[in-house]
Copies of this chain bind each other. A is one copy, B any other.
Amino acid sequence: MVVYSLGNIEKMEERFRAKFINSLSGFKSANLIGTQNKEKQTNLSIVSSVFHLGASPALLGFVSRPDSVERHTLENIRATSFFTVNHINQEIYEASHQTSARYERDISEFEACGLSDEYINNFFAPFVKESKLKMSCEFIREIPIEENGTVIVIAKIKSVHVSNDVISDDGHIDIEALGTVVVSGLDSYHVTDLLKRLPYAKP
């Protein structure tokens, strides 16, 4: 085992360091965030930083870099308050990755990347039709991270769209059965194999 000190890390070439550091937190969730601006221009962005924030109330968060390809997503969320979160499955991971390209504002990643927008129950933001677990979300607030200029977006989950077939009696959702993929680093996509579900741990 080799030890990389902070000095070693700071001397790494920029793109090397980005890939190295992005691998450290472990595997990451793979979601598409769907938004629309007030002129009905849709936007779709792959995000590997969506995280569970709480079950009661149902909250999630994600990290956004304002200067990145996610900037249209963040602008739309600030302007309209609504977005969707859509699990990426193994049939659409390549199309989903393509949404990370720097498209111009007047181009919809849905069309450019071959994914279908879908509107459900009059919710303002577009869902991804090909996704098998999707949520509508409402913006609560953003937390600026002064250390690097990113923001953490916090939102409440308003609805969940999923087949009953994958929901266990105890509430657990078998997202492996949905083909939900997982990301490591900046660009590595994986499916999963269940080891085991473990019982509630007691001392």
Contact = CB atoms under 8 A, between A and B. Distances in A.
A58 B51 CA distance: 19
Interface string A28-57: 111100000000000000001111111111
A195 B183 CA distance: 10
The 9 closest A-B pairs by CB, nearest first: A26-B29, A19-B171, A16-B171, A23-B173, A190-B192, A21-B55, A101-B201, A20-B171, A54-B148
A24 B61 CA distance: 12
B25 A28 contact: no
Given A19-B170, A181-B195, 19 more contacts: A1-B161, A2-B164, A19-B172, A20-B173, A24-B58, A24-B60, A25-B31, A26-B182, A28-B51, A53-B63, A54-B148, A59-B145, A59-B147, A172-B184, A184-B192, A189-B195, A189-B196, A189-B198, A192-B192
A112 B203 contact: yes
Interface of A: 1-6, 9, 12-31, 48-61, 63, 85, 87, 90, 93-94, 97-104, 107, 112, 120-121, 132-133, 135, 140, 143, 145, 147-148, 150, 152, 154, 157-164, 167-168, 170-173, 175-176, 180-182, 184-203
A198 B24 contact: no
A140 B147 contact: yes
A29 to B, nearest CB: 3
A50 B49 CA distance: 10
In the assembly, how many copies of this chain are there? Answer: 2
Given A18-B55, A54-B148, A101-B202, A27 B27 contact: yes
Nearest to A143: B143
